[in-house]
Amino acid sequence: MAALDDAPPAPDRTTWPTGPVPISAAAERVGTTARMLRYREGLGLLPRTQEQPTGRGHRHRRFTEEDLRTIGVGLELEREFDIPPAALAFALRVLAEPDVLARVRTHGERLGRLAAAPARALDFEKQKAMRLLDGRRS
């Protein structure tokens, strides 16, 4: 358990502000940097904001508690599966875009890492009906 003794002390949460926080405070709270949060935002790994621009038309993003929890879950997934943020972003793209999913699945089948998708029951019934109709026409 010596590794636990070497860990830095946890930040004092009693000094953290309540309500939405700017990017620098958000980065500190989730244990990363503002630069890394901006990178993650570019990859689509941050929750969308509903805020109106502040200042001279510039949007100064503020993070809610829910945003910070969501970012924390993403960071935990990356640590648990030992993947970079770009890999998590691509995984989300695969799940969100059916054509990308199909291409990745086909590649996995060619590699032998995925079994061919089983024919759906509805497809089987459709093929059966088409054969019966073709038989009647002859």
Task: Provide the residue ranges of all domains of the chain, joining segments of one domain with +.
Answer: 17-137
Residues in a beta bridge with 21: 63
Both structure tokens of 130: 């088409």
- CATH, domain range 17-137: 1.10.1660.10
Mean pLDDT, to the nearest integer, of 34-44?
95
Residues counted in the chain: 138
Question: Given a cut of 70, is residue 130 above it in pLDDT?
Answer: yes
pTM of the complete model:
0.66
How are beta strands 21-22 and 62-63 bridged, if at all?
A: antiparallel
Both structure tokens of 32: 């990363």
pLDDT at 126: 80
| Digit-coded pLDDT (tens) for 21-35 | 999 999 999 999 999
